[in-house]
């Protein structure tokens, strides 16, 4: 398939159920009636066509840990998952905390990416939590940074957090916080604090270690009149705080990961380090709370927290292995399974949560747009009925820490098109 000659996708249904042909030509959606005779065609009868998915939270590991992931391999995994845009987290080596570092990642994305790569800048220099990073210079750089995060670490200092919020307000940036009170849940905490942590002998991570930071941050966002985004919400208490803050008119948005929607604490009972993640997998009442919050919009978006790790960092006792799991390739599958197939959410709402809203939060133009003539040709074709047992070895990622391996799940992604070009075909 080529870009020039264009591609006519016929018979697909859109998220709202309407059927329409899509004509991808020169990177945009053109009027299907203008497609020349003999144009290449793709029969999409029985499939859904959705806007390309947008991930707000992806660890691409380049520069520094190219053994675990690269911009090329991570974005190839993204394309397989139906994504046409990812946000590359700043906890690389070196950290993305300067304009030069941000431009380096943006440039890699432009040259090697299988989807759009937006750069997340660090909030503090070296993620050390002591001095603000070059927030303004990163915004003004060619990378055009709008999302800032010390993810992996929490910005613990309230004054620094206030200053960061105030600073980024000037250019409509957002601080994406990894909410973890490190006094309540220190570096060794690795299991939801509950009967499970006690029984398994694993250091507990109480749900309040998350929600106390969320409660502080929404009040700081109110004080600064700025936008705060809560990364990987995992607890019922955080949901309640966000609900309160939204009712008050505070500019807060939030994301939930696929794994916090589907996987629960008892999975860690086998000490399988694929299930070690930060924040940890929670118990069923928390899973229910985040599912309900995603359905009603209290949680605005799904974000993967795709966190590839090399086997030498995972093949350790549970308490010392690095936290993190793959997410890009099965994200849509998990959301379809947990939210759509259960009747909790319809397809238009899924598009809001996985494409339109994350693009808006990241201030990404040209992503998360409706599939209409004149819009960028970022499209994912979905088979809503297909299922498969996840084969973890079939991943495009360089890492194999896939928590879904061996699970029977929906297998929705048939093809992904970014700027009119196929980036994945099943």
Which residues contribute to the site for ligand DOR (CB under 6 A)? 59, 91, 151-152, 178, 277-278, 307, 323-324
Residues 75/78/82/86 CA torsion (nearest 10 deg):
-80
Which residue's CB is nearer to ligand DOR, number 234 or number 253?
Answer: 234
Work out what residue 324 binds among ligand DOR, Zn ion, none; the CB cut-off runs from 5 to 8 Å by kind.
ligand DOR
> Of 133-141, 143-151, 289-297, 314-322, which segment contacts Zn ion by CB under 5 A?
143-151
The nearest distance, CB 260 to ligand DOR, in angstroms, is: 11
Tell me the C-alpha distance between 206 and 223, whole Å: 27
Which residue's CB is nearer to ligand DOR, number 146 or number 260?
Answer: 260
The nearest distance, CB 417 to Zn ion, in angstroms, is: 30
Which residue's CB is nearer to ligand DOR, number 265 or number 416?
Answer: 265
Q: Is 178 in the site for Zn ion (CB under 5 A)?
A: yes
Establish whether 150 is a catalytic residue: no
Residue nearest to Zn ion (CB): 178
Q: Is 151 in the site for Zn ion (CB under 5 A)?
A: yes
CB atoms within 10 A of CB 340: 18
- Taking the alpha carbons of 382, 388, 390, 394 in that order, is the dihedral positive or negative? negative
The nearest distance, CB 182 to ligand DOR, in angstroms, is: 12
Q: Is 118 in the site for Zn ion (CB under 5 A)?
A: no
The nearest distance, CB 178 to ligand DOR, in angstroms, is: 5
Q: How far apart are the first and last CA of the chain?
A: 14
Q: Is 237 in the site for Zn ion (CB under 5 A)?
A: no
Which residue's CB is nearer to Zn ion, number 178 or number 314?
Answer: 178
Half-sphere exposure at residue 221, Cβ-oriented, CA atoms within 13 angstroms: 26
Work out what residue 80 binds among Zn ion, ligand DOR, none; the CB cut-off runs from 5 to 8 Å by kind.
none
The nearest distance, CB 91 to ligand DOR, in angstroms, is: 5
Work out what residue 206 binds among ligand DOR, Zn ion, none; the CB cut-off runs from 5 to 8 Å by kind.
none
Tell me the C-alpha distance between 19 and 17, whole Å: 6
Work out what residue 91 binds among ligand DOR, Zn ion, none; the CB cut-off runs from 5 to 8 Å by kind.
ligand DOR
Which residue's CB is nearer to ligand DOR, number 52 or number 152?
Answer: 152
Rounded to a whole number of angstroms, the CA Rg of the chain reads 21
- 151, 300, 305, 411: the catalytic one is 305
Which residue's CB is nearer to ligand DOR, number 177 or number 416?
Answer: 177
The nearest distance, CB 376 to ligand DOR, in angstroms, is: 30
Length in residues, the chain? 426
Residues of this chain that interact with Zn ion (CB under 5 A) are: 151, 178
- The set of catalytic residues is 305
């Amino acid at each position: 398939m080529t870009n020039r000659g264009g591609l006519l996708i016929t018979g697909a249904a859109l998220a709202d159920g309407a059927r329409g042909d899509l004509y991808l030509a020169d990177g945009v959606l053109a009027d299907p009636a203008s497609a020349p005779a003999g144009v290449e065609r793709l029969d999409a009868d029985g499939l859904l066509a959705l806007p390309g998915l947008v991930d707000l939270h992806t660890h691409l590991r380049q520069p520094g840990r190219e053994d675990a992931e690269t911009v090329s391999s991570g974005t190839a995994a993204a394309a397989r998952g139906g994504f046409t845009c990812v946000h590359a987290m700043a906890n690389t080596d070196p950290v993305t905390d300067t304009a030069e570092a941000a431009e380096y990642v943006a440039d890699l994305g432009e040259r090697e990416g299988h989807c759009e790569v937006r750069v997340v800048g660090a909030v503090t220099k070296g993620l050390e939590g002591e001095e603000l990073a070059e927030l303004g210079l990163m915004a003004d750089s060619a990378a055009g940074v709008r999302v800032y995060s010390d993810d992996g670490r929490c910005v613990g200092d309230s004054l620094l957090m206030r200053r960061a919020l105030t600073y980024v307000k000037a250019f409509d940036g957002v601080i994406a916080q990894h909410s973890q009170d490190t006094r309540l849940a220190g570096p060794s905490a690795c299991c939801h604090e509950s009967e499970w942590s006690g029984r398994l002998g694993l250091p507990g991570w109480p749900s309040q270690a998350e929600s106390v930071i969320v409660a502080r941050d929404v009040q700081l966002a109110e004080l600064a009149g700025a936008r705060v985004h809560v990364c990987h919400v995992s607890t019922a208490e955080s949901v309640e705080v966000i609900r309160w803050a939204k009712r008050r008119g505070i500019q807060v948005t939030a994301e939930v990961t696929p794994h916090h929607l589907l996987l629960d604490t008892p999975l860690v009972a086998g000490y399988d380090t694929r299930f070690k993640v930060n924040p940890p997998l929670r118990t069923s009442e928390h899973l229910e709370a985040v599912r309900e919050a995603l359905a009603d919009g209290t949680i605005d978006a799904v974000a993967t927290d795709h966190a590839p790790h090399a086997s030498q960092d995972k093949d350790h006792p549970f308490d010392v292995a690095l936290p993190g799991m793959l997410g890009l390739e099965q994200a849509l599958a998990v959301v379809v399974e947990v939210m759509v197939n259960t009747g909790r959410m319809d397809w238009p709402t899924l598009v809001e949560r996985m494409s339109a809203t994350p693009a808006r939060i990241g201030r990404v133009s040209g992503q998360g747009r409706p599939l209409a003539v004149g819009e960028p040709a970022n499209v994912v074709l979905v088979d809503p009925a297909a299922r498969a047992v996840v084969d973890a070895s079939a991943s495009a990622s360089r890492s194999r820490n896939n928590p879904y391996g061996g699970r029977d799940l929906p297998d929705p992604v048939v093809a992904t098109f970014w700027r009119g070009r196929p980036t994945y075909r099943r």
